[in-house]
Structure 1
Amino acid sequence: MQNLNETSGSANLSVIVKVCVVIPFFCIFLYCIVIMLHIFASHRQFLESSRYILFAYMLINDTLQLLTSVLLFLLVMGQVRIASVYCMPLLFFSTATFQNTPLILATMSLERYVAIFYPLQCPPAWRSDRIWIIILVLLLVSSILPIVDYSLGKVQPGVDFLSTPVLCKTVVLSTSPIQTLFKVTLNGLFFAGVAAIILFTYMRILLETRKLRQDRASVGKAMHTVLLHGFQLLLCMMAFTHPITESVIVLQVGWLREHISFFNYFCFILLPRFLSPLIYGLRDENIRVYMRRAVPCWSYTVAHRTRALAKHRGR
């Protein structure tokens, strides 16, 4: 009886620690996203640039992904069971927005490629007034994939889709071997294509920096941005290795499988989304200027340093 209580207490403590790790990161991320989206909506110059429009779209997509992902995480941690009819929309949005992320990264890399190689003759589809067409295509592609995936599944025996409460996990709707084969094949082709696009744009921009004698700064920034896209894509791809990593770590280290699942979830699903506003927002001088005005503590620190510097120079 005592051992049972100790095991139960250890499990409860583990759940509390995991929730206390995820929720603060999520709140900080959401705070940064709200500020950035407010900046985009309040200043017209951002809405006239395809680059910033795609960045805002990525922020909205990552926010939806994190909202559904964190909600599913809390439901699983609390062992809350809901009917499949309510579980499916959550899993659909989580999967669609997750698969949309690499598409957005590839599109942003191509946008930098177009901006470098066609600065004066930008193709019509990449102009700020028509970039929404590309965004709609990305939405359509990322939505079709989970629809096809879930349509291949079969309802488990004894489970009523409308009333039977289930633990809301992907395995609930992924019961067919055909689904597993479909997802493995699709994800391999999907991410290989995106990686090829990012690698192509990076190499082309890298070669262009050696040719150009002027405007090297903007080309260098574009090259670094594409490289960061590749890093984010790598983190996203690592999420699909969790069955292998979980099995290897369990055998070699002896960790509990749920702890390894949480490690993969935090590092390869949440962390790439947490990095988005930091990588792209705070690196951009135009956004950083408005962020200094919008964040109270940042504004106070900047103003205090400015006054101290002016006072020092006055002496």
Structure 2
Amino acid sequence: MSNNSSVAVGSFQQQISFRLLLIQILVVIFLCINMLLIVTFFKKECFHTSARYILFAVMLMSDSFVLILSNVLVILSILQFTIQVWLCTVISIVTLLYVMATPVTLTAMTLERYVAICLPLRHAELCSTRRSIHCILVIHSISSVPSMLNLSIFFATASLGLYETRALCSVEMFILQPWQRHFRSAISQLYFFIMCIIIVFCYVQIVKVAKAASGDNKQSTQRGMRTVILHTFQLLLCLILLWSPFTEAAALKVDVNLFLNIRYFNYIVFSLAPRCLSPLIYGLRDEMFFLALKNYICFCFCKRFTV
């Protein structure tokens, strides 16, 4: 009996180690790609005056922050390493802010495509560099509201002594009452409902323009349509992530191993996957950005071999 139990424990630890290693490999790959695209953005000055590329760079940085912070939380959770609650609060505030910043930025980028295709004469005015900076401030302000509301409730209900205690850092730690979970879910789903309406509206308007366009304009409009469709898919993955706590809670009541498997699957598919779609949508599909990226990579290789 003891031999069977030791074999089972060893197999479980081996499985956990493999999953942790796979997560680290994926995170490192996505971070390297994001950093390469961010450096390409800063190297090319023409990108600094375009709203679509500015918002793209903002989303890349948001995704990178989420990848780093969520990976730290995953490692702490797997290693069962506890930290003080006040430190966990700081990490959670930043994580929740940038988790929400990605879909909000996606919505802003979809609106920029709508203006470029449906209102081309006003695009230079509405999507200027100055307005893009204001848009970034609005994105972060809107993205901070859900986390501020949820954490304000936690600050109001938690005792002062709780902040000095040590615990496993998790977003679920800030839910002290069952109604707080429903409140958090309601706010998040309200956000995504509004964002879905905006994206559907933009897509319908772009389709109308595509039917009336011809030649090069038609090709440009169709590319815009495909971009909006990819944004919708990416937003859908982010939306499903909000439902993950409910499926994980139901699985935990059935079996612990089922809970761990579903949680691992949710993290890979609904947390990591949306962050790898950003480089695909704008970094590789966009001809201008892809050309700048290729030139930068070739320049780095040539410089390395000539030194």
Does TM, normalized by the shorter one, top 0.5? yes
Is 1:223 the equivalent of 2:225? yes
Output one character per residue of 1:35-57: Cα deviation in whole Å (capped at 9) or x when no partner: 11111111110011111001001
- Name structure 2 gaps, 5 residues minimum: 303-307
CA distance in 1, matches of 2:233, 2:109: 14
Sort the Cα spacing of 1:115 and 1:189 in 2 relative to 1 into closer, same or farther, 3 A.
same
Q: Pick from 265, 283, 286: which aligns with 1:284?
A: 286
SS at match of 1:80: coil
SS for the counterpart of 1:120 is helix
* Contact 2:110 2:202 (8 Å CA) reproduced: yes
Percent identity, please: 31
The aligned counterpart of 1:94 is: 95
- Give the length in aligned residue pairs: 298
Q: Quick one: which amino acid aligns to residue 224 of structure 1?
A: R
Contact 1:50 1:127 in 2 (8 A): yes
TM-superposed deviation, 1:249: 6.3
Q: Which of 265, 270, 273 in structure 2 is aligned with 1:271?
A: 273
More displaced stretch, 137-146 vs 103-112: 137-146
Contact 1:102/1:233 (8 A) holds in 2: yes
Give how far 1:94 is off.
1.3
Asked whether the equivalents of residues 125 and 133 of structure 1 are also in contact (C-alpha less than 8 Å), the reply is no
**TM-score, with structure 1 as normaliser:** 0.87
Identify the residue that residue 257 of structure 1 maps to in structure 2.
Answer: 259
Question: 1:7, CA displacement in angstroms?
Answer: 3.4
Aligned amino acid, residue 171 of structure 1: E
1:20-169 aligned within 5 A: 20-122=21-123, 124-153=125-154, 154-155=157-158, 160-169=161-170
Q: CA offset at residue 290 of structure 1?
A: 2.4
Return the offset for 1:223.
0.7
CA contact (8 A) 1:19 1:74 kept: yes
Report the RMSD for the aligned CA atoms in angstroms.
2.4
Could you tell me how far apart the structure 1 residues matched to 2:198 and 2:163 are? 42
Q: Distance in 1 between matches of 2:214 and 2:295?
A: 36
Deviations 1:194-228 (A, max 9, x none): 01111110111011100112411111111110110
Contact 1:242-1:264 at 8 Å conserved across structures:
yes
Counterpart Cα distance in 2 of 1:20 and 1:221: 37
Which runs of 5 or more structure 1 residues have no equivalent in the other structure? 301-315
How far off its partner does 1:103 sit? 0.8
TM-score between both structures, scaled by the size of structure 2:
0.90
Deviation at 1:155, TM superposition (A): 2.7
**Secondary structure of the residue that 1:196 maps to in structure 2?**
helix
Measure how far apart 1:6 and its partner are.
Answer: 2.6
Which residue in the other structure is 1:308 paired with? none
